[in-house]
């Protein structure tokens, strides 16, 4: 069985190095999508390289229009996000889960919502969360569970 990344490459998605592609729908023109290095695209994300031509087909029976999608380097795309045609996502970007990205995003931004809007900057996020780092990356499930349950509440992010 192929990995999600291998399949995406097979259907034409251009993907850089060290990316993590989960259960993602690249639509009917995956060859119009380019993904940079160190990008994580999480479950349920969908890419749309076209849309809405149907409404004009009675008037223009052969109409079709498309937009390429480009994702920069070091990007995180949260679960169930929708990336629409013609969108470019800069580098060092976080897209919150469930976002509908209708416009291009500049480097270093955090976006979320429907439609997605800027909700912060990655530099500020870095400063905010570094104090909550518990250095558990790479722990087994059991070890992480035991460790996290042993921590005081002030070690966890609160919103």
- Catalytic residue check, 50: yes
> What does the angle CA 150 – CA 151 – CA 155 come to, to the nearest 5 degrees?
165
From CA 156, how far away is CA 134, in angstroms rounded? 9
Task: From the candidates 14, 38, 50, 106, give the one annotated as an active-site residue.
Answer: 50
Which residues participate in catalysis according to the annotation? 50
């Amino acid at each position: 069985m192929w990995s999600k990344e291998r399949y995406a490459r097979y259907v034409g998605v251009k993907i850089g190095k060290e990316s993590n592609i989960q259960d993602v729908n690249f639509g009917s023109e995956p060859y119009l999508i380019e993904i940079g290095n160190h990008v994580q695209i999480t479950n349920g994300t969908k890419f749309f390289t076209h849309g809405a031509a149907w409404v004009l087909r009675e008037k223009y029976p052969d109409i079709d229009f498309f937009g390429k999608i480009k994702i920069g380097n070091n990007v995180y795309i949260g679960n169930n996000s929708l990336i629409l045609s013609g969108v470019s996502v800069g580098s060092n970007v976080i897209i919150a889960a469930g976002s509908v990205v209708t416009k291009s995003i500049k480097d270093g931004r955090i976006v979320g919502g429907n439609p997605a809007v800027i909700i912060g900057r990655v530099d500020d996020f870095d400063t905010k969360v570094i104090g909550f780092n518990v250095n558990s990356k790479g722990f087994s499930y059991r070890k992480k569970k035991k460790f996290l349950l042993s921590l005081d509440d002030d070690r966890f992010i609160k919103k």
